[in-house]
Structure 1
Amino acid sequence: MTEVQQLPARKDVPEELTWDLTTIFPNDEAFEKAFKDCIAEIEEVKKLRSESFSAASLLSDLKAMEKLDRHVETLYVYSSLKSDADTSDNKYQSMNSRCSDLASKAEQAVSWFEPAILKLDQSEVANMVNSNDELKQFEHFFDELFSQKDHILDEEHEKILSSLSNIFQVPSNVYGIITNSDMKFPIVKDPDGNSVELSNGVYSKLLESTDRSVRKEAFQKLYSIYDQFKNTLASTLSGEVKVHNFSAEMRKYDSAKQVALSRNHIDQNVYQNLIDSVNKHLPLLHRYVKLRKKLLGLDEMHMYDLYTPLFGKSPISYNYEEAQAESLKALNVLGPDYISHIKDEFSQRWIDVVENKGKRSGAYSSGVYDTNPFILLNWQDNLDNLFTLVHESGHSMHSYYTTHNQPFQYGGYSIFLAEIASTTNENILTDYLLKHTDDVEVKKYVLNHFLDGFKGTIFRQTQFAEFEDFAHQQEQQGNPLNAEMLSDFYLELNKRYYGDGVVSDPEIAYEWSRIPHFYMNYYVYQYATGFAAAIDLSDGICANDQDKIDKYLNYLKAGSSEYPLDVMKKAGVDMTSTDYLDNAFKVFEERLNELEKLV
């Protein structure tokens, strides 16, 4: 009887393939001591509550709150990384929950500050800022604060909302536990006929299989589980959307979308321009889907046929060590300083590499101002995971350059900017791979990968953005979000996006239920805008235009010291226009033409 291949337990993963969290706390005992100290610190911060401000007292309050914030976020990132490494470990689930409570208490302790500042005239604050060199560093911070004045509540209501923050996280937390721990996936056959335990990571690899029966089985069996949980997952998503809409109403916004975009000072036209532009260019996607159907020799193409390489087994694949080496070669165009930090990332265990039982699915880059950037992977030996590695490295280098060039108050960056750094790296890698091979088969495969990546990032994420906006609008209008309504809309949306060249299988109606980003409040559109902007940026970088490379590195260093759209204008991309989107679709069409010529 064939032995079933199962994921390793966390304790069986080689140490060198796990992240080194001792750089945050040497052990859990040190964490507990810091946690206890932070509780005491919260009590001290509660005592601030200045009745009036001078330049000196304002600076003192800011420093005290900054110190608390840094301690809380360091505790939180340690617990969340520990928890994500094995979501079935109750100890770290509990630790992460305690940190969530701690963060809520810290928010309450400082909730008085912004309402107190907004009682003052902006000119009065500006005078204090201009009278003190240290306060001068907070000028943009206060400008941004006053720009939100109409949406910041009085002290009592801010305190109430802060106290509810932990409750607001319940739908997302429940979704994470269900999909990462409680769902039990069936056994399927891999391309070699081995029995393997299905998981989200394994599923993505099987969907790339050249064996259609493998793809079909993985697709149908994965969605059979989501079908079983569809009503529960509709309930968690409904709860999340209600939280978003309630918060928007409380803060006197027109919609949750307006809240999400205004946090980054993004005009809502940027969102609508994306949807309109993608819908305008859907014939390009339909053309690519039909080419895929033709080259695969299929009489009828299904959703599970959209991810397998068009040209059979990949002529290139990478294990993790090979992927590291290839990443360094591709990203070398960004200069020796950038490469030195990528090497640190690889050698100093900033990356948790392999999939293990209970580990959070997917990939991300995390970390805070006082820690290294950390990357979570669920490594599989394929080209897509090489792209994932450089993608997450783009995030991590963005974090590294920001925290090493900005003070704490500007030491983060908006999600809108984050996705540009990661996808610029992806485009640099694509250019490198196409330039460094004469093998026609490799060129065809990389072009296919780019077109699939474009499909998955710009077309697919915009499809998600449409669905997310629909869900929020329906709930805001008082229409209950149930599994039937969500699934019906999603199926019709899928048919519109992919056209008549592919069968929208009934299982795809449940795809909404397995997208964790729907719990992140208008997050997904930024993948699409980021990828499109990255095409503009990478064109200059790959041409070795030093001025454009320098502007790009300055963008990485900017953090939140300016509004995102202003940061991008300085980097050379005006995202309030549709030019960057038009250019992206032009590149897609050019590479589609190139692929057609090669075949």
Structure 2
Amino acid sequence: MKELQKRSDVRAQDQWDLTPVYADLAAYETDFARAKKLIGEFGSLKGTIRDAASYLRFAQIEEETERLISKLFVYGNLKYNEDMTNQAMQTLNQKGRALFTEYGTVSAFAEPEILALPDEVFEEILAAPEVEAYRFHLERKRNLKKHILSNEQEEVMAAFGDVRSASQSAVGIFSNAELSFPDVEDETGKKHLLTNGSYGQLIKSKDRTLRRNAFETLHRTYGATENTLAFLLTTNMKDWIIEARLRHYENSVEKALKPNNIPVAVFYQSIETINDHLDLLHRYVGLKKRILGLDEMHLYDLYVPLAEAGQDRYTFEQGVEMAMQGLKPMGEEYMAAFHAGVENGWIDKYENVGKRSGAYSSGVYDTMPYISLNFDGTMSDVSTFVHEMGHSMHSFYSRGNQPYIYGNYSIFLAEVASTCNEKLLIHHLIGKETDRDKRIALINQELEQVRTTVYRQLMFAEFEKVTHERLEAGEQLNAGDLDQIWLDLNRKFFGEDMVIDEAIKYEWARIPHFYNDFYVYQYATGYAMASSFARTILHEGTQAAQRYIDKFLKAGSSKYPVDVMKDAGVDITTPQPLQDTLKDFSELMDQLEREYGLA
């Protein structure tokens, strides 16, 4: 049974290097005091925005304050995620969150005040040469004018920031620091450690008894507290719905999409398109059942590799070398920056006691684009590394080529660069592989990527759609209601060849993304857009890669995301990118059938 090491025992070279952010807590506290001072003085700007010069002064002070607060917050958050049982770091994280709430309260006047300016004054500000860099930023604000509340109302909303995020914070602490699972046995009676982190590997085991026990134990452990978790989740949803109404959005979906000028049809169209192609997922379930030789196909059989090669293990260094080879089509400039990030302390590599589960890329304009992994040596872990490096490279290029105001990129585009990296890697690995078992394992991995990133995430999106619509209609949803919605969706998506195990009804309780309303559909749209980019880069070579870097990675939020994509050559307002991805899914199944002589 694998034992997790304590954070204090992790080698320095396996940790991210946060010292460029703050050398020590004394440096953090110095900046914290300066941020408090800036926030305290920020209120004096109220009522001063009258023309281009006064707006520019306001914007410069706003940027200085926000950059400092963001840096403090991300440092506290990263330190906390290293070991969520560390109460001192819990406090540091909470201090950063509280700082954002305090700043939000004192700065709440800004948008209402700017948008209340007479049209002629607003136009004069937009026309001023010294405000050129802020023009698109201001135009975006004006497009949301009807959704901005009065000064007093915005101050109240901001003051409740910490309270309104309490459900998400509580679930994070519970799932990562307090919830524990019994050990699970394999077919020989050997016990295995079950954590949120280790579950991903146990569910892929060739030992069906171990898979089943891990599946049942994990979900039923969440199920034991489902009433509390249902209350926290529906409270979070209601908060989103109430704010949508207060801000005069048509519904909660519009609240999620309109700030980035994304047509709501993109969300509904994605769910409709995937429902029109459920037959392909049903075909995949039946194909996998035949290949595995199972009388019954259960949900815990979905993740098992189809070939022994899927069990190969790799060191982190080997994973880096695989990435460097697979991403060569991106060109020398990209690869040099990629390698420098690996070597210069961007990455926290391995799981330890109390470390946040999963993997993510994080950082702000004035930090490195840090990555947290729980690398365990599987091919999936190598893909996850490449995925998160895609996020970080997107951040690296955006922040390096845009001013602060446009240095980030929208959530809608967040999964494109990461998934494009994965697509390039898997294409390289399949293309060069001569061993049949390893080739099958790679084809299976790519099929699983479509299943989990497109089908699964759009099933999640449909869950959000159904639950939000029912709450918007005035219904009250309890744990049993969420269970039933989840069961019905699983039955519809997986079809008749799948045995829908009852324990799956609790799965909604362990999905942290549901606390970021209407985020998950963007994994699927992002995957579809990334597939289009990867296909073009592979067909056209370095010229296409450079266009992708220049028009997409470097664009940040200097345009609306749909426009950024169109400039780079992909139109996500049509179903075509998603349909093309599902065509690839079908062709991969054709390839798998040929490998097994089933065609």
Which TM-score applies when normalising by structure 2? Answer: 0.97
Match of 2:352 in 1: 356
The yes-or-no answer on 1:306 pairing with 2:306 is no
Match of 1:596 in 2: 593
Pick the aligned partner of 1:482 from 478, 489, 512.
Answer: 478
Q: Deviations over 1:29-62 (max 9, x none)?
A: 1111111111011111111113441211110110
Match of 1:254 in 2: 250
The yes-or-no answer on 1:214 pairing with 2:210 is yes
SS of the counterpart of 1:201?
coil
Return the offset for 1:544.
4.1
For structure 1, the residue ranges without an aligned partner over 5 or more in a row are none
CA distance in 2, matches of 1:8, 1:60: 50
Match of 1:525 in 2: 521
CA distance in 2, matches of 1:194, 1:370: 48
Match of 1:465 in 2: 461
Structure 1 residues 192 and 327: alpha-carbon distance in aligned structure 2, compared to 1, 3 A threshold = farther
Q: Partner amino acid for 1:387? A: S
Pick the aligned partner of 1:516 from 512, 518, 521.
Answer: 512
Pick the aligned partner of 2:100 from 95, 99, 103.
Answer: 103
The yes-or-no answer on 1:341 pairing with 2:337 is yes
Q: Deviations over 1:479-516 (max 9, x none)?
A: 22211000011001100000011111000011100000
The yes-or-no answer on 1:155 pairing with 2:151 is yes
Match of 2:565 in 1: 568
SS of the counterpart of 1:523?
coil
Aligned residues: CA RMSD? 1.3
Match of 1:175 in 2: 171
Pick the aligned partner of 1:264 from 260, 273, 296.
Answer: 260
Cα pair 1:431 1:542 within 8 Å, conserved: no
Q: Partner amino acid for 1:565? A: V
Q: Partner amino acid for 1:586? A: K
Aligned residues: 595
**Range with greater deviation from structure 2 (193-202 or 152-161):** 193-202
Return the offset for 1:256.
1.5
CA distance in 1, matches of 2:220, 2:504: 11
CA distance in 2, matches of 1:432, 1:5: 32
Match of 2:53 in 1: 56
Q: Deviations over 1:349-383 (max 9, x none)?
A: 21111111111111100000000000011111111
Structure 1 residues 562 and 192: alpha-carbon distance in aligned structure 2, compared to 1, 3 A threshold = farther
1:390-409 aligned within 5 A: 390-409=386-405
Return the offset for 1:192.
8.6
Pick the aligned partner of 2:498 from 491, 502, 518.
Answer: 502
SS of the counterpart of 1:435?
helix
Return the offset for 1:220.
1.1
Match of 2:193 in 1: 197
CA distance in 2, matches of 1:377, 1:459: 24
CA distance in 2, matches of 1:526, 1:353: 26
The yes-or-no answer on 1:422 pairing with 2:422 is no
Cα pair 1:231 1:482 within 8 Å, conserved: yes
CA distance in 2, matches of 1:595, 1:117: 58
Cα pair 1:333 1:544 within 8 Å, conserved: no
Match of 1:378 in 2: 374
Pick the aligned partner of 1:28 from 1, 22, 25.
Answer: 25
Q: Partner amino acid for 1:413? A: Y
Return the offset for 1:187.
1.1
Return the offset for 1:124.
2.7
Match of 2:577 in 1: 580
Pick the aligned partner of 2:441 from 426, 442, 445.
Answer: 445
Q: Deviations over 1:543-567 (max 9, x none)?
A: 2433321221020000000000000
Return the offset for 1:189.
3.6
Q: Deviations over 1:274-306 (max 9, x none)?
A: 111100100000001000001101000110000
Return the offset for 1:316.
4.1
CA distance in 2, matches of 1:181, 1:315: 29
Return the offset for 1:171.
0.3
Q: Which runs of 4+ in 1 moved over 4 A?
A: 190-194
Match of 2:35 in 1: 38
**Range with greater deviation from structure 2 (519-528 or 251-260):** 251-260
Return the offset for 1:193.
6.5
CA distance in 1, matches of 2:555, 2:201: 37
Return the offset for 1:217.
1.1
Q: Deviations over 1:383-439 (max 9, x none)?
A: 111110011000000000000000000011111111111111111111111111222
Match of 2:81 in 1: 84
Return the offset for 1:184.
1.2
CA distance in 2, matches of 1:194, 1:416: 44
CA distance in 2, matches of 1:461, 1:52: 44
Return the offset for 1:22.
0.7
CA distance in 2, matches of 1:452, 1:328: 23
Sequence identity percentage: 38
Cα pair 2:112 2:148 within 8 Å, conserved: yes
Q: Partner amino acid for 1:401? A: Y
Structure 1 residues 541 and 122: alpha-carbon distance in aligned structure 2, compared to 1, 3 A threshold = farther
Cα pair 2:326 2:424 within 8 Å, conserved: yes
SS of the counterpart of 1:22?
coil
Pick the aligned partner of 2:13 from 16, 25, 29.
Answer: 16
CA distance in 1, matches of 2:165, 2:386: 30
Return the offset for 1:254.
1.8
Return the offset for 1:315.
6.4
Q: Partner amino acid for 2:40? A: E
Pick the aligned partner of 1:223 from 197, 219, 222.
Answer: 219
Structure 1 residues 123 and 526: alpha-carbon distance in aligned structure 2, compared to 1, 3 A threshold = farther
Match of 2:113 in 1: 116
For structure 2, the residue ranges without an aligned partner over 5 or more in a row are none
Cα pair 1:7 1:197 within 8 Å, conserved: no
Return the offset for 1:122.
4.2
CA distance in 2, matches of 1:66, 1:241: 31
Return the offset for 1:569.
0.4
The yes-or-no answer on 1:128 pairing with 2:125 is yes
Return the offset for 1:317.
3.4
Return the offset for 1:542.
1.6
Return the offset for 1:129.
3.0
CA distance in 2, matches of 1:165, 1:525: 25
Return the offset for 1:123.
4.5
Q: Partner amino acid for 1:49? A: K
Q: Deviations over 1:556-588 (max 9, x none)?
A: 000000000000001111011111111111111
Q: Partner amino acid for 1:557? A: K
SS of the counterpart of 1:446?
helix
Cα pair 2:81 2:355 within 8 Å, conserved: yes
CA distance in 2, matches of 1:369, 1:316: 38
Cα pair 2:311 2:378 within 8 Å, conserved: no
SS of the counterpart of 1:153?
coil
Return the offset for 1:445.
1.1
CA distance in 2, matches of 1:494, 1:99: 39
**Range with greater deviation from structure 2 (438-447 or 232-241):** 438-447
Which TM-score applies when normalising by structure 1? Answer: 0.97
SS of the counterpart of 1:26?
coil
SS of the counterpart of 2:371?
strand
Cα pair 2:220 2:506 within 8 Å, conserved: no
CA distance in 2, matches of 1:434, 1:198: 32
Q: Partner amino acid for 2:595? A: L
Q: Partner amino acid for 1:117? A: I
SS of the counterpart of 1:531?
helix
SS of the counterpart of 2:45?
coil
